[in-house]
Amino acid sequence: MLHVLHVSQQFPCEAYPALGVMVQSSVRSLAPLCEQSVLAPRPYTLPLPGFPYGQLALLPERRIESGYWVHRPRYLYPVPKSLFYPQAGPAMALSVSRYAPQLERPDVIHAHWSYPDGAAASVLRERFRSALVVHARGTLERVIAEQSPRYRAMIGRPLQAADAVVANSEALYEDCLRLGVKPAQLTVIPNGVDTECFKPRDKAESKRALGLSDERVLILYCGNLREVKGVDLLAQVITPLCAARPKLDFALVGSGELEGRLHRELGPLIKARRVLMPGALPQAQVAQYMQAADLLVLPSRSEARGNVILEALACGTPVAAADVGGIPELMRPSHGRLFAPGCTQTLMRTLLALSDDPAQLAQLGAAASAYVEQSGLSWQAHGTALHALYQRLL
């Protein structure tokens, strides 16, 4: 049985259950098909309140999780990130090269982010003479690479050097071509959805389970609280929407650099429980919010595909999303609406129209769960496609 070493600086743990959860889902999908280990380097941190990812300092350097080894050596991640990001790749590469004697030789090394994971994985490939797969997930290739020629080269280099590149959408496939990846290297393998976790449930019952009124309409945002996700645009329309629709509430599930600003801007509505901000949650609790929500909104400025769309649809929850990147690949008029990205006016009009028509929301929701059932976009299918790719490389 072939052995795969997954390299990802983002990998969930008990303190940060949402950190790279899609990587964990990908690893789990491969469990019946190959032997695996995970290399999740962590930056030097201090276990102090307010220190970014401080609880990572308390994790052991290696331990068995879910039947496979998870290795978490430390590496120096200079901050502020905006100034020293180009140093993250070499720092992580130095750390993993020193840690390499602790690792079993893999047949395939799978870097789950093009940078800095791809830079570190390239060093291990040279040491172990293994096949290298680099995953393109969106923000790095679509946003960060466009910030400067230096960043473009920094992100493009590991992709170009890989034996195979996995893009999670057709739109991202095109982005990788523009970064110099050859078509022969590229494979589109979409993320899947866990239909055991994300499945329809009676919305009134789900709202009551969260302590919410089943007579109110709930709009959900789920994801990182960052500008690239457009959550700042959503915040601009929440106050007027709540004023226009007295029975409308919002839940913003996630964490990120805009969290403090959102608490300040939406403070009165949070105090009145018109806006809920429970932070980043484990998948099971995310599913509870999706089952309770009448609508998921995703106002991203850039998005490779948006797995939260699949998860919401699987729960029978319709989606309103920005028409950007790979999002249209998942959207159909039967289960959601697209709106122009970066525009608060179209965002507000879309949410007003949908929240004013509960019967339409219910109809869209029924079509949503049917779409996921028919699409075959499962994590099992994702794992099967990855395993086939690994075998072709070998």
Please write the tens of the pLDDT for every residue from 187-209: 999 999 999 999 999 999 999 99
| pTM for this prediction | 0.89
Assess whether the region 3-192+378-393 and the region 203-375 belong to the same CATH fold: yes
Whole-number Å distance between alpha carbons of 162 and 118: 8
For 287-313, the pLDDT digits (tens) are: 999 999 999 999 999 998 889 999 999
Q: According to the model, what pLDDT value does residue 200 have?
A: 96
Domain ranges of the chain: 3-192+378-393, 203-375
Tell me how far apart the alpha carbons of residues 299 and 306 are, in angstroms, rounded to a whole number.
11
Q: Which residues pair with 70 in a beta bridge?
A: 38, 63
Q: Which residues, 6 or more positions from 66, have their beta carbon under 8 angstroms from its beta carbon?
A: 28, 31
To the nearest 10 degrees (0 to 180), the angle between helices 149-161 and 117-128 is 30
Q: Edge-to-edge, what's the strand order for the sheet holding 336-339?
A: 275-279, 248-253, 217-222, 295-298, 319-322, 336-339
Side chain identity at 373, as an amino acid letter?
E
Between CA 129 and CA 105 the distance in angstroms is: 9
Q: How far is CA 391 from CA 107, 114, 133, 177, in A?
A: 10, 21, 12, 24
Dist CA 279 CA 357 (whole Å): 29
| Below-50 pLDDT ranges, the chain | none
**Using CB atoms within 10 A of its CB, is residue 329 exposed (0-12), middle (13-18) or buried (19+)?**
middle
Q: Which CATH number is correct for 3-192+378-393, 3.40.50.720, 3.40.50.2000, 2.170.130.10, 3.30.530.20?
A: 3.40.50.2000
Question: Yes or no: is domain 203-375 CATH 3.40.50.2300?
Answer: no
Structure tokens at 295: 């609508």
Say what the pLDDT of residue 79 is: 66
CA-CA distances (angstroms) from residue 257 to 184, 194, 226, 285, 335? 38, 28, 6, 22, 31
